[in-house]
Amino acid sequence: MSSKKIMAKEEQSSLIMLLPLDVIVDILARVSRFDYPILSLVCKHFQSIVTSPEIFTRRSLLGRTEHCLYVFLVDEDEPVWRKRLYILCPKANGEHRLVLIRSLPDMPTYISQTATGSRIYVFSWSNKHHMITLSIDCGSHTVQPLPDVPVLMSPRMADIIKGRIYVIGYDNGWERVMVVFNTETQMWEPRVIRLDKKGNKCTDGCAVMGDKMYMRNLSKTLVYDPKESKWERDEMMNLHKWKNACVVDDVLYFYNPCDFYDREGGLRAYDQKQRRWRVVNGLEPLLPETTSSAWPHVVNYGGKLALFYLKRNEIWCDEISLETRQDGEIWGKVEWCERLVTGNFDFMKALDVVV
């Protein structure tokens, strides 16, 4: 870059800095969240603004929030497998890529994660025999520790209902327990819930529909109603061994790859109000692409679906829009399909965060 262009750029930045802070925040709040890393390079003042709570509050008031996908991956080529957090970013040509968030530390082992608003909550069991609880601010990409848990436990899953995170795991006696974290007060509720022995098994999936937590183990689906503090069963959900699922508009979606044992693969949907399974139509071309994938994951991405799957040593992602027609049939359309990562990576989880 020539000296004249550099001087012109510096002059423009200086002119912007003459504006009142509220005006600068208002202007930058209207810019895409994905452009903030570039804006932070303009000057230290801009870097401070685009990571401040004020700009994300302003974005919310202006209706300029965006859905961002955060992806937990394990790099198995590292001597000690590193669990890192990435963000799915659009490129200038319309394609997408996973960008490592270098300001965040490695994630702990054996984690359960959930997200609400602009925060990701991480719960893990440490080798030093204590529970690690973290909150990740996805605006500033910083980590804050949470208060101590009221019981020593090894977490297995976590999900959120009306601002309360329900964390389920085992205590020291291998009894199934649940603790509740209030995201409004940022405090744990004092009561430790001893779960019914019907649910006292490891589970393969967890999802929230109709303010109830649905959990699957090897043989059946169990439903926990926090209002009544009791377990229920949903026999219709046992028709399919769902896992790595998500919920959109109180309908559960999971992707069942077509393989030697199950010839009827595809994206399936369960409507808990109608208590009925459906096959999502229009996605037949996906079946050959996902046949060899052992772990397709479906994530709610702003009302659409993000389908992550493995092809050889590549992690792919498809964005799928949904349409429910008058006859109740659900149709899907692949908006884009791209390879995100090549290498010896293990996919852990993806979460939709609003910033």
pLDDT digits (tens, 9 = 90+) for 46-68: 889 998 999 999 999 999 999 99
Give the count of domains, the chain. Answer: 1
In a domain, 19, yes or no: yes
Q: pTM (2 decimals)? A: 0.89
In a domain, 50, yes or no: yes
Mean per-residue pLDDT for 326-333? 92
| CA–CA separation, 164 and 10 (whole Å) | 47
pLDDT more than 90, % of the chain:
51
Q: Where are the alpha helices (DSSP H) in the chain?
A: 3-17, 21-28, 36-39, 44-50, 53-62, 286-290
Confidence of residue 7 (pLDDT cuts 50, 70, 90): very low
Burial of 298 (0-12, 13-18, 19+ CB in 10 A): buried
| CA–CA separation, 354 and 66 (whole Å) | 6
In a domain, 170, yes or no: no
Q: Is the pLDDT of residue 257 over 90?
A: no
In a domain, 225, yes or no: no
| CA–CA separation, 354 and 117 (whole Å) | 5
Coil, strand or helix at 213? strand
Q: State which residues form the domain around 28.
A: 15-58
Place of tokens 């509740």: 180
In a domain, 37, yes or no: yes
Q: Which of 93, 159, 90, 89 is nearest to 123 (CA)?
A: 159
| CA–CA separation, 71 and 202 (whole Å) | 24
Torsions phi, psi of 351, nearest 5? Answer: -135, 140
In a domain, 25, yes or no: yes
Which of residues 292 and 255 earns the better pLDDT score?
Answer: 255
Coil, strand or helix at 264? coil
In a domain, 294, yes or no: no
| Residue 338 structure tokens | 């791209």
| CA–CA separation, 298 and 283 (whole Å) | 14
Torsions phi, psi of 341, nearest 5? Answer: -145, 140
In a domain, 126, yes or no: no
